[in-house]
Amino acid sequence: MILKVSQESASDSMGRDRVGSLPMKKTALITGIAGQDGCYLSKLLLQSGYQVYGTTHSTDRSRLWRLEEEGHLNDIDILHLDLRDRDKIADSIKELCPTELYNLGAQSLVGKSSTHPFYTSEVNAMGALALLEAVRKYSPETRYYQASSSEIYGNTQESPQSEKTCFQPRNPYGVSKQYAHWMTKTYRTHFGLHTSCGILFNHESPYRGEDFVTGKITQGLARVSLGMLEKIEVGNVQARRDWGFSGDYVRAMHMMLQQPQGDEYVVSTGRLHTVQDLINAAAQALEMSLEWQGEELETVALYKGREVVSVNSQFFRKNETSQLVGDSSKAREVLGWEPQVSFEQLITMMVQADLRRLQSA
């Protein structure tokens, strides 16, 4: 275990040094630091003067490529931790006693949760419980953030969704996140810990992988534009989501833990776009003018008369969630949070990063 707590991080709940009276460096532990949000959050915390520890459950160092590309990998202490390993979680919390703990680690693919329900639940639900219990036992001053998801609203008919909307998850991922959400709230109301849940709607960035529809489309169309790929195949182009920028959303996570009390907050843009809008935005950023033809499974998009996008039923989701669009009034009013990057800016940013990587590969 790469665990070393420097003298600097030995602060009390007031953020003061145990021996002197100078304010000391805050420490943060981020699970799932190798993922998209972990990359942006760790950068934000380092810029704010935190000492940052991050966990990965993989021994493959190439998994840390996002931190490497963003240029701050060497400023982070990396720990190897699987969220299914309760003993190691307890030892890590006991040893680090972080000022703030952000639980971002998860099996985060909605589709995969249908084929791997046990794994998804062990990591997302039991992993969160193991962290909360370790905080309660060994570091009750730690402020805890739980990465909740709009997927907990699943099949709701209420729109937009707010903190008051009832949860109706439709897949094992949504259920695992609902469990972690309620446990996080329970550790605040029942045990008195400072815990918060960010109910985050879809958020993307140049660090989004191709398993998600935004990454698949921007990377795929960038390859098409460079003549490296003939066409991309997607699922339901009429599916709609509330897409924001990860860099904006990690600011909200940090803001939550700076509040005097923990709470639950929806974080979203409040704007819906279809997958077709997404394809059009990516094509526009690549200066490709698309012509759409056909309907449903016959839908195709042509560029200069050539088919570059088609629909494949293989990528349709069995139990598609309702149109998830968030009402983030509470986060805006209480935290003073506002998203700064628009949908079009986000997609352009992703396409430009994809082109840069492909051209320099």
Q: Which does 37 bind (CB under 5 to 8 A by kind): ligand GDR, ligand NDP, none?
A: ligand NDP
Is there binding between residue 110 and ligand GDR (CB under 6 A)?
Answer: yes
Is there binding between residue 234 and ligand GDR (CB under 6 A)?
Answer: yes
Is there binding between residue 56 and ligand NDP (CB under 6 A)?
Answer: yes
Is there binding between residue 246 and ligand GDR (CB under 6 A)?
Answer: no
Q: How far is the CB of 20 from ligand NDP (least distance, A)?
A: 36
Which of 27, 92, 108, 195 binds ligand NDP (CB under 6 A)? It is 108
CA distances from 110 to 124, 149, 171, 173, 213 (A): 12, 11, 7, 6, 12
Is there binding between residue 239 and ligand GDR (CB under 6 A)?
Answer: yes
Is there binding between residue 266 and ligand NDP (CB under 6 A)?
Answer: no
User: Which range touches ligand NDP (CB under 6 A), out of 20-28, 34-42, 320-328, 343-351?
Assistant: 34-42
- For residue 48, the tally of other CB atoms under 10 A from its CB is 11
Nearest CB to ligand GDR, comparing residues 154 and 262: 154
Which of 188, 241, 251, 273 binds ligand GDR (CB under 6 A)? It is 241
* SS3 per residue for the chain: CCCCCCHHHCECCCCEECCCCCECCCEEEEECCCCHHHHHHHHHHHHCCCEEEEEECCCCHHHHHHHHHHCCHHHEEEEECCCCCHHHHHHHHHHHCCCEEEECCCCCCHHHHHHCHHHHHHHHHHHHHHHHHHHHHHCCCCEEEEEEEHHHCCCCCCCCECCCCCCCCCCHHHHHHHHHHHHHHHHHHCCCCEEEEEEECCEECCCCCCCCHHHHHHHHHHHHHCCCCCCEEECCCCCEECCEEHHHHHHHHHHHHCCCCCCEEEECCCCCEEHHHHHHHHHHHCCCCEEEECCHHHCEEEECCEEEEEECHHHCCCCCCCCECECCHHHHHHHCCCCCCCHHHHHHHHHHHHHHHHHHC
Is there binding between residue 268 and ligand NDP (CB under 6 A)?
Answer: no
Q: Per-residue x/- mask for ligand GDR, residues 187 to 206, rule CB under 6 A? A: --------------xx----
Q: How far is the CB of 63 from ligand GDR (least distance, A)?
A: 17
Q: Which does 320 bind (CB under 5 to 8 A by kind): ligand GDR, ligand NDP, none?
A: ligand GDR
Residues in binding contact with ligand NDP, number by CB under 6 A: 25
Q: How far is the CB of 270 from ligand GDR (least distance, A)?
A: 15
Q: Which does 213 bind (CB under 5 to 8 A by kind): ligand NDP, ligand GDR, none?
A: ligand GDR
Site for ligand GDR in 54-93 (CB under 6 A): none
For binding to ligand NDP (CB under 6 A), which residues are involved?
Answer: 31-32, 34-38, 56-58, 63, 82-84, 104-108, 123, 147, 149, 200, 202-203
For binding to ligand GDR (CB under 6 A), which residues are involved?
Answer: 108, 110, 149-151, 201-202, 212-213, 216, 234-236, 239, 241, 275, 315, 317, 320
